[in-house]
A and B are shown apart, each in its own frame.
Chain A
């Protein structure tokens, strides 16, 4: 009989109106990497939070058994004291403090309350080496222990979080979607480190959507659906398709609903567009980009993180906080856009990649978010007709199949996929001619992704120019009719779908010239 480090017994957790976890049983062997897979809203994060003390004892039913003892965590500290450390989706680092200060925040080595800084920075250096933030071969690149967190890239921050976990004598490391914001190279490093931790005897729980990673790293997989644990399998006896099938409860014959589109007139064009860096004078984030987008097609914008894609389109939209210049044409007419107000007037709509920061007002309900860009459509003499508002919002709920108890539900209470549909509803209500979607399916479950793709097809049928920025190569190849590839602010290639392959795009995206 294998030895279990952690057992969750009959865990039930309810939120007002929702049963997030329903009698979940879950066991983790010592020393394994255990992946938890499930659609968004399936209850993965809730399960993690029950394990590590975010939800204190008494707010859930069932037992958490760790090291053969029933644990009664009242706060996160209690879980950390027994060696359970969680790295949450939203990183918890203080930007203005140094790497070393962050790692030892809360347990600085000290003598009579006076911090021993040399010891901190010495230990930090060692920890950074363990997570590949040093100069050794194949590592990520050196980071000084005295560097401020705000100067680090997102991948480096993730690794600092892991170093912080290692500083705490971790026995069980919980990683909640650790690769959501990482590039493929960074993912490789992260997986290597997890592998190393496994060899050192640290047990890991790895929550992820990304099944390729799961297949690479996990020993065991547990699939959760609708708050219930569906199955726990050893990685040898399961395939990626099995996991997908268990996650969605049905077989997805095709992840992408590709439809035959016929290219129409040029609907959108930019010429020689440039964007400056907001903080570093003279540095360009986007250099001299020109391309056309046609009605009746989906134009995919591919590239690695930091290629300048988001900056380009938020600058076109008039929302980027730095200088930019270049020409923009909608329907053949030159337009001058200084702010999102102008962009919306020119029928350009932007679905931003960070929906919580730029897309939603979380304290408002579905209908108020839906109409926020189109208040003039539901008002007369600036007075809002609240019933017209409800009516329009309900139309979009039906059209986009948004799952919400009502249009008067706060968007903060919806799952990621449904929040994304609300942002999309807001964008569509402005009746755009050009719809730019920046990472439209990031952090969304498989089912909702498919629905968003179908909506994109429908927009194309209505003559809307659809531009999709995506870091997911499969998605780019699965949905685009034409692909523009960017690298370090420059355009590195333009491909029709018939000539595009993963290799060709990757080659361009990493700076190689057009093949």
Chain B
């Protein structure tokens, strides 16, 4: 190896792999634990009961799904204000198709998903090709889809859905299947870690020490298996949570491993340089909005299945929850930076506040106030830690 490489390798270790703890994530997790302790104390332990934890994860699923898509949109430097209304509109359509027109579950879901993607595509085209700011386009969408929802449902709650449809919102993945999935996931984590190490070695690049790598793998494995065992104590992984995890894994992969993912981070980081680099900026933007439309469809299906009804107020203000989840999870509003998995943390935060305060029998208005305070605090803290660096 040449001298240059040696030097580079050594400094890479210090630079990247050495004990770089993400202070932000650390603090957010810390804050979450404090909140949990607080709610557990205030509710005489009800908060930490197995049943409530299962509930909590189910509550976070919808915002988690929406937040994941929102991360991608915000990373490109845009915003999507329409998804709450779109979610409501799509759940209304699902109800109309199934309850009033007798469509089957598979057909209904397919239709809703296709409409969601198409609507996302339309908004994306207006943003990318007609150069109307996303804020305006999706603000228009917010109004249009809310109106659409009232129109298609004739402002009524529509119920009930088929059993198989309700499964998506209300059922559990059986404990046995859960354990099998967990083991599969752990095997995958190990394979990926070893693969990365082998590949880095092949290219003569710095690697972590084996104990450190094993430590990380063990930590992740414990987390996965622990969560599944915990949820199995009640009735298993709630199906919406399973959907959310699946969505997050896929979107994380897309964001971090694909050329499309790289492009959207570049667009958010410097759109002009990205254009000059020969990347199809507009096409990629449209795809981002299509993905977000798909997320609204999935969330809409979960919500209507959980409520077993299409309601005229479904998804009200949920775009704000999704944006908050993304931002609390570390996504930068100026674009170019953010992680899909962060949205899970953000969603869990929001769900914790909703759930804990309801258990404490506090008035609903407090939830809004507290969520608002937490949102601003999280962003302030982010800016504060960055400045300190």
Binding site for B on A (CB under 8 A): 16-17, 317, 319, 339-341, 343-345, 350, 352, 357-364, 368, 372-373, 375-376, 379, 382-384, 386-388, 390-391, 394, 397-398, 405-409, 426, 430
Q: How far is the CA of A398 from the CA of B4 in the complex (A)?
A: 8
Q: Is the CB of B12 within 8 A of A361?
A: no
* Contact pattern, B 267-300, Cβ under 8 Å of A = 1, otherwise 0: 0011011111111100000000000000000000
Q: How far is the CA of A348 from the CA of B16 in the complex (A)?
A: 35
Pick from B8, B14, B200: contact of A397, CB under 8 Å: B8
Q: What are the 4 A-B residue pairs with the smallest beta carbon separation, nearest first? A: A361-B269, A406-B12, A344-B278, A375-B259
Q: How far in angstroms is the closest Cβ of chain A from B8?
A: 6
Q: Is the CB of B259 within 8 A of A376?
A: yes
Chain A residues, CB < 8 A from B4: 397-398
Q: Answer yes or no: B209 CB below 8 A from chain A CBs.
A: no
Q: Is the CB of A394 within 8 A of B199?
A: no
Q: How far is the CA of A291 from the CA of B16 in the complex (A)?
A: 49
Q: Answer yes or no: B212 CB below 8 A from chain A CBs.
A: no
Main secondary structure of the interface of B (DSSP, over half): helix
Q: How far is the CA of A192 from the CA of B365 in the complex (A)?
A: 67
Pick from B15, B336, B389: contact of A361, CB under 8 Å: B336
Main secondary structure of the interface of A (DSSP, over half): mixed
Q: How far is the CA of A345 from the CA of B202 in the complex (A)?
A: 31
Chain A residues, CB < 8 A from B272: 357-358
Q: How far in angstroms is the closest Cβ of chain B from A379?
A: 5
Q: How far is the CA of A398 from the CA of B262 in the complex (A)?
A: 24
Chain A residues, CB < 8 A from B200: 387, 390
Chain B residues, CB < 8 A from A394: 5, 8
Q: How far in angstroms is the closest Cβ of chain B from A394?
A: 7
- Contacts between the two chains (Cβ within 8 Å), count: 110
In the complex, which residues 55-82 of chain B have their Cβ closer than 8 Å to any Cβ of chain A? none
Known A-B contacts A368-B262, A375-B262; the reply to A360 vs B273 at CB < 8 A is yes
Nearest chain A residue, comparing its CB with the CB of B258: A382
Chain A residues, CB < 8 A from B273: 357-361, 372
Chain A residues, CB < 8 A from B103: none
Chain B residues, CB < 8 A from A345: 278
Q: How far in angstroms is the closest Cβ of chain B from A434?
A: 14
Chain B residues, CB < 8 A from A398: 2, 4-5
Q: Is the CB of A383 within 8 A of B258?
A: yes
Q: How far in angstroms is the closest Cβ of chain B from A19?
A: 15
Q: How far is the CA of A361 from the CA of B275 in the complex (A)?
A: 11
Pick from B202, B266, B270, B280: contact of A341, CB under 8 Å: B280
Q: Answer yes or no: B208 CB below 8 A from chain A CBs.
A: no
Q: How far is the CA of A32 from the CA of B211 in the complex (A)?
A: 62
Q: How far is the CA of A383 from the CA of B203 in the complex (A)?
A: 18
Known A-B contacts A16-B389, A362-B270, A406-B12; the reply to A373 vs B278 at CB < 8 A is yes
Chain B residues, CB < 8 A from A350: 276
Nearest chain B residue, comparing its CB with the CB of A392: B203
Q: Answer yes or no: B337 CB below 8 A from chain A CBs.
A: yes
